[in-house]
Chain A
Amino acid sequence: MSHSQKGKVAAGGKGAAKAKKAAGGKKSENDREDTLQAVILADSFETRFNPFTLETPRCLLPLANTPLIEYTLEFLAMAGVADIFIYCGAHTSAVQSYILSSKWHPSTSAASPFNTLEIVKTTARSVGDALRDLDSRDMITGDFLLVHGDLVSNLPIDEALRNHRERRVKDKNAIMTMILRAGGLGEHRTKAKGITPVFVVDPGKNRCVHYEEMHPLQAHKYVDLDEELLKDHKDIEVRTDLIDCGIDICTPDVLALWAESFDYEVPRRHFLHGVLKDYELNGKTIHTEIVDDRYAARVFNLQSYDSVSKDVLGRWTYPLVPDSNLVAGQSYKFERGSLYKENDVMLARTCKAGKKTVLGKGTSVGAGSVVSNSIIGRDCQIGKNVTIKDAYIWDNVLIGDGSHVERAIIANEAVIGKSCKIQPGALISYKVGLSDNTEIRPNQRITRAKRKRDDDSETEDEVPSDPSIVGSSGHGYEFRDAEEFSDDEEAAFHSSLIYSTQHLNLSNASISTLSSSLSSADEPSGPRSRLSSFTSLSDDGDNEGFHHDAVQGILDTLHEHGDFDSAKLEFMGLRLSNDATDHQIRRAIAVAFSKHISQLVDGEQKTEASKAAASAFATGGAVPFLKNVALSTGTEEDAVDFLRCLQKDAVNRGSGPLVLAAVCQRLYEEEVVGEEAFLRWWEEAEGMGEDEDVEMKRVRAKTGVFVEWLREAESESESGSGSDEEESEEESEDE
């Protein structure tokens, strides 16, 4: 990466100059309060705004027709910040040229409220890298504000700053103060959805003592508080109502802590959580300033883009509203019914530009069109009889007659043909063209961005348009997340404009058990219907990547007689990153076990099926792994599903019938699968009669003996079970 080298040299030069200044400023350690420094993380190193952030940096995305960074800089100007460092990752040059041409840069604009403003280029791939880089540059001389380039806030920080400094004087270890906005007890559109931050606060000391995040995909549905913590803090509050606006008042010690831990990447889930957890070790305390009035929020994903836009139009962010005309050249006026309109807007006489709408300069709306709750940028041409509802349309967009846009984002210079239908959640990126009569499905993302070649070179390739999506004369293709970015919950919660958990396979939280006698019978069964295990067999096709990796991982463990405890971690990580369903997990495990055992049977050693199964199950932690991962819910449906997966896989194996019988027996003996599940699986298979696949029938034939035995054992008294077991073992070996 050639440009990075250049960046470093340039920054080094600046850093040296800065160091001189810092040396001069050292003597005035006491009056460092006079100048406040701020660091803006203009790049979040996330992919939540894809496909838009493929072509523009996040901080330049327009929010109510004003780039996001304008709001952040306004906030910092109000806070009285003197020196600003803007950290950029991708698209640094775009940020640089924007800032240089704006009113903010002191060297190009006399009106700039800042003493210095420096744009730092970095090769960082995470916030952690950026802050470690900052630490090495030695530019920070005192307390500084750390904010993100997507902050929208009208908070005065004076009080928080004063409290922070008071604490700091009393205790050198009070290294950071987070400003958090209380979001009220009920629902709030600006509260984070999906991933909820959990702040554990000692209200007496305003100290944050624990932090973690919870989301519905977590298997561990608990927030764990340390016992010590409860002992040390007799009064604590566990708060999920706080809106984290990412304003941190930091001391230089914070950077030192970042520098110490190379694995910290994000400020909250890693840094905050880690520092609080290591309190015993480092003795550093992090404090909170919880505010109840004024506005503060981050535009950290598309859902918050939606909610913060609405807050801006609802004037919660005053004075940061369109009619304040933050950017030079804007001429918004606030009209009746919360209509913000710039000069030179042409509205046809029969169109309706309704409530809570923003219309930029040079935009025209054709006859009979209806625009409501939407933000439309400059120089857009909206045709006749167009309906635009709850949508965000940026600059220079053309929308053909009769089109319908609802709850979507359409980026600059996109061209929408006539009578198109754009459904909720759709994202249409820069310069995409849609032919007439195209329909864009909900949550579809369309882009024309060039794709980088895999070999890490700078050349980018034009991606051919996909006519099945954009129509015959359209331009653009459907955007899919690259494999490497789709890790953890990111994709599940952040990437869509509309928050929904419908596509996620969420299991119900368990409820307290009263006592052993009561719990078993009354446990509410999962949402799965009896039939779902049948239908799910057909959708094995998707997520093949997960299946392959997972099977390989388990096979390796089995081959090497490894330890399943460590394999489990890997497996769960894989599961999260691929958003795999329970069924996919069961299938992968079933395939791996069946494959391993049949390899032993068919291999050179010619191990007997039952012995091969026994050796597989004897691998360290295999039984708990099966119980906790494959059959984590413990319901009968899942066990039946698991058996069916085994059966299906056995079809492809030479010694399939034997392996299936042996595995079934082991599963029963290790109490992984109960006899009810076996019987049900068998009955369901028998019940299919003619419809049953011939192969499937053949494969399960050998297991019939075992099932017969189970039936007998059930009907008989328990006394004779010992001898029966031996019998059946012999029988299965015979086969």
Chain B
Amino acid sequence: MAFQAIILCGPGSSFPTFTANPDETPKALLPIANRPMVWYPLEFCYRMGVTNLDNTTGTAEIFRLPEVRDVVKGDFIILPCDLVCELGGDALLEAWMVTQASLGGSTPNQSRLGHPKMALNGEKAGRRGGMTVCYDTRGETVIKGEETDFIAMTPLKAGPVPPPKSSVLSQLSNLVMSMPTDTLKDLTGKGGKLSIRHSLLEAHSRVRMLGSHRDAHIYIFPAWVMDMINSNDHMDSIGEDVIGWWAKAGWQDGLGEKLGLAEVFNSSSSPASHDDNLLDNPSTQDESDFSTLSSTWTTSVPKPADVKPKLTIPPILTYQHPTPTPLIRRVDTAPLLLSVSLQLAKLEPTETGGTSPLTHPRKFAYPAGIASRTTVTRPDCLLAENVTVEERCSLKECVVGANCQIKAGAKLTRCVLMDGVVIGNGCKLTGCVVGKRAELGEDCTLVDCEVQENLLVEAGSEEKGAKLMSSSGMEATEEELEEELA
């Protein structure tokens, strides 16, 4: 059995303008650069070679649901549905395997070398660790209100051989703290001080703290994490609780016991049964510890049974994405949706030799729809099927969804139009996100606005930085509209 990937799809409370009706438009189906959001993590899994997928909603509690427990059998990957990741998942998986799950027995048992934390030899030398991914939110453009996490990490001990340049290994660190910035604010609380425990500094002499990075919510977990979540009812979210506690347990003596990890590790699901989950290896290969066959190693004297061995917490590593390209981004607010869509629109299409996995075959899916006397900048615009752009229009840095109609004289700059939007004559839109089937009357001027789906914007409206949503009185008309469309 291979890896399993679980894509978590929430209701999308962070997009109030566009997911007012989650049944019709769940967050996972909002378009990013003319593709539904969930396409990106699915495509990511496909590229990574993971074909065993689960689509669910919720966070850590879902791992207590019996159906999920039944489904997840081995090591697994968790992805958010709002992830746009240009970086190949195979690179991440490779890094995890190299550090946490070496091909059975090919490396000497490191516990004898004085660092038992790396779980080599299958899980003979200890449980496998996990891996997370984080990226810097400070890109070329600053996006207002983007959430950040407070992440603290410590460097890994450098190996004798430097990792190859192409590998992500050089960017791996040991995670020691992770929490959303909001939680950090709660912690610093009254005194305005963040207190760092001495035990952390005693355990790790270099702790790097990043304030502008964000946890991408890509998690590669070994199978035992499932048990840990199940034995700790207080863990609500993966990012904050599971990762947070695990990271802390790595340096706080006694916390691992408190989290019941000792029982988790000694539980009936014996390590051996997991070994073959990993790589479809014949299990015999895993079970033989080649290092014991070597004459250079002396077999250690078995410990007396009554001595309780110190609990070793498997490491949780984090891959810190160093550069803005290739893109890793979570899209969970409208400004991010706008910015990431525009960024993706700039990718070279495959017809002119673009190689990015996230690019489209063509920039303009339906060139015939663009009138002759109109400007649509090719490098940074992306137009889907059946888009008509009338004369004297100007489109700069725009992503236009299928079946949109842009009428004569409209000027659009840095805008995202979802499917079926109608833009009236002479509209001027800058930095706007327009929902599905919305219709803008003539001569509207909107700057940095969000327009709800199915909304009719009156002709001549002028707004700046507003969220145009149907007021409660208009709901009836919206329903009528839907009926009409249905």
Contacts and interface: CB of A to CB of B under 8 A. Distances in A.
Interface string A207-224: 000000010001001111
A548 B254 CA distance: 39
A512 B248 contact: yes
A633 to B, nearest CB: 15
A28 to B, nearest CB: 43
Contacts of B93: none
A226 B157 contact: no
Contacts of A185: 154-155, 157, 204-206
Contacts, number: 109
Given A225-B194, A511-B255, A230 B184 contact: yes
Interface stretch (A111-119, A238-246, A294-302, A652-660): A238-246
Interface in B228-269: 232, 234, 245, 248, 252-255, 257-259
Contact of B192 (A183, A228, A236, A241): A228
A522 B155 CA distance: 31
B193 A183 contact: no
A237 B209 contact: yes
Contact of B201 (A223, A224, A228, A230): A223
Given A234-B138, A518-B234, A222 B211 contact: no
Given A221-B199, A225-B196, A239 B205 contact: yes
Contacts of A235: 208-212
Contacts of A221: 197-199
Contacts of A218: 198
Nearest to B203: A240
B107 interface: no
B192 A514 contact: no
Contact of B207 (A183, A224, A237): A237
B195 interface: yes
Question: SS class of chain B's interface: helix, strand, loop or mixed?
Answer: mixed
A223 B138 CA distance: 27
B201 A198 contact: yes
A241 B205 CA distance: 5
A370 B157 CA distance: 39
Interface string B186-228: 0010011111111101101111111111000000000000000
A545 interface: no
Nearest to B188: A227
Contact of B258 (A223, A224, A239, A511): A511
B201 A511 contact: no
B247 to A, nearest CB: 11
A223 B195 contact: yes
A222 B254 contact: no
Interface residues of B, number: 40
Contacts of A233: 211
A524 B254 contact: yes
Given A234-B210, A237-B206, A514-B259, A214 B201 contact: yes
B209 A238 contact: yes
Contacts of B192: 226-228
B255 A239 contact: no
Interface in B377-401: none
Contacts of A239: 205-207
Interface in A144-190: 183, 185-186
Given A214-B201, A235-B208, A511-B258, 12 more contacts: A196-B202, A222-B198, A226-B193, A227-B194, A228-B192, A234-B138, A239-B205, A239-B207, A240-B201, A240-B202, A514-B232, A514-B245
Interface of A: 183, 185-186, 196, 198, 203, 214, 218, 221-228, 230-231, 233-241, 509, 511-512, 514-515, 518, 522, 524
26 contacts: A185-B157, A185-B206, A203-B208, A218-B198, A221-B199, A222-B196, A223-B198, A224-B193, A227-B193, A230-B150, A234-B213, A235-B208, A235-B211, A236-B211, A238-B201, A240-B205, A240-B206, A509-B198, A509-B199, A509-B253, A511-B252, A514-B259, A515-B234, A522-B257, A522-B258, A524-B254
Interface of B: 138, 150, 154-155, 157, 184-185, 188, 191-199, 201-202, 204-213, 232, 234, 245, 248, 252-255, 257-259
